[in-house]
Amino acid sequence: MLALEGIKVLEVARTPLASFCTMTLGDFGAEVIKLDSPPKPGRENLAVSNVGEENRPLNAHWHVNRNKKNVVIDLSSKEGVEVFLRLAKTSDVIIEGYRPGVVTEIGIDYETVSELNPRIIYCSISGYGQDGPYRDFPGHDLNYIATGGALGLIGSSDGPPVVPQNLIGDWAGGTMHALSGILIALLARDRTGKGQYVDISITDGVVSFLNMYSPFYFLAGAVPKRGAGFMNGNFPYYSVYEARDGRYIALGCHEPWFWDALCHELGRDDLAGNIFKGEHLYDRDEGTDWDRIFSELRQIFLTKTSDEWVQLLSPKNIPISKVNNIDEVFSDPHVVHRKMVVEVDDPKAGKVKQIGIPIKLSDTPGSIRNLSPMLGEHTSGVLGEAGFTSQELERLRESKVII
């Protein structure tokens, strides 16, 4: 048994972050129906499944669409909206990623759907949320982490903010909060019998990640400076170092027992005791020559390769890791052991590697049952199950409402 068997999800989103959320629901057994629009020249996107058997290998590797069915409906037409609403009547979850107000203009908004299906869990993911002064602003991950305070904390004190990959806003602030909100709402529905609206703002999610700093700000007005706190690598006990092979190692020794153990193993007991203090969240303390300690450790770590340092120090209960490139991540023995790289047999695409399922459940684990479908591969089957007759399907296809 899969944990979410019997839950039907409609995905109406052209964004990978929403697709990643529904992928996770599908991994645990939900029936996920991905609604795509008919392809238009110049608007192709990898988030949308491709047409043609020659593209099946590409589709199969686009893992955010695995464990899904693909249906193509033209929501710009009145008939297309009617088709969607018929599907919504028997669904449990709808997730959409349009800009605020668009679904209302189309006629597939929560108010419309909930009148037909009061048990629906309707989730909207947007950059700034469904209300507020920034509601209608366009944006991307960079804008949301800027507004939410994360970007201003990343980088050195003597330079501009450093632009990270879109992991903080899109994938963490958006996808993970949407997944949590949907599951919480499903649990609440089991108790109340009613569905509800889930409004996910990526910016809200980013702001929520500031909880390490917010207590000190609210209590005493303390504002962390970019590059000044220990989480920025500004202290030698929590930073990255180059090894003899030109690779980098990550050292996380801000607890005194880790730091003292490191100093002992390096033959530098004289450096022990220079440890983390609460004020290091914001700035360096006076009286400690941190630059000298940094310089000496950098010279020490240049004497061995990254592998040698990990092999030497990890068994001594010292938090140290190699800084892996993506090719090393997927061959890392721990990542492989944890089944975060899996190989799936596809009858047409052959053996396809996928990122595995990070949520490990002992009794109802997730599974990868199907790879990403082709555009419109399940339109007839899904609509047929929803009660559409063969005559209706033929008419809708002739009028290009469906593919």
Q: pLDDT tens digits for the chain (403 residues)?
A: 999 999 999 999 878 899 999 999 999 999 999 999 998 765 554 445 566 677 788 888 889 999 999 999 999 999 999 999 999 999 999 999 999 999 999 999 999 999 999 999 999 999 999 999 999 999 999 999 999 999 999 998 889 999 999 999 999 999 999 999 999 999 999 999 999 999 999 999 999 999 989 999 999 999 988 888 888 888 999 999 999 999 999 999 999 999 999 999 999 999 999 888 888 888 877 778 999 999 999 999 999 999 999 999 999 999 999 999 999 999 999 999 999 999 999 888 889 999 999 999 999 999 999 999 999 999 999 999 999 999 999 999 999 999 9
Tell me what pLDDT residue 50 has: 62
Per-residue pLDDT, 383: 98
- Given 140, 245, 289, 307, the catalytic residue: 140
Q: What is the CA radius of gyration of the chain?
A: 25
> Under a CB-based contact definition with an 8 Å cutoff, are residues 66 and 24 in contact?
no
Relative orientation angle of helices 16-27 and 177-192, to the nearest 10 degrees: 50
Residue 385 structure tokens: 């199950």
Active site residue 140: yes
CB of 127 closer than 8 Å to CB of 103: no
Q: State how far the Cα of 141 lies from the Cα of 277, in Å rounded to an integer.
A: 33
- Ordered DSSP codes for 200-237: EEHHHHHHHGGGGTHHHHHHH---PPTTTSGGGT-BTT
Domains identified in the chain and CATH numbers: 8-208+346-398 (3.40.50.10540), 230-329 (3.30.1540.10)
DSSP 131: S
pTM of the model: 0.94
Catalytic annotation, pick one of 92, 109, 170, 204 = 170
Non-local CB neighbours of 44 within 8 Å, separated by 6+ positions? none
Sequence-ordered alpha helix ranges (H) in 72-176: 78-89, 102-106, 110-116, 141-147
289 is catalytic: no
Q: Which pLDDT does position 388 carry in this prediction? A: 97
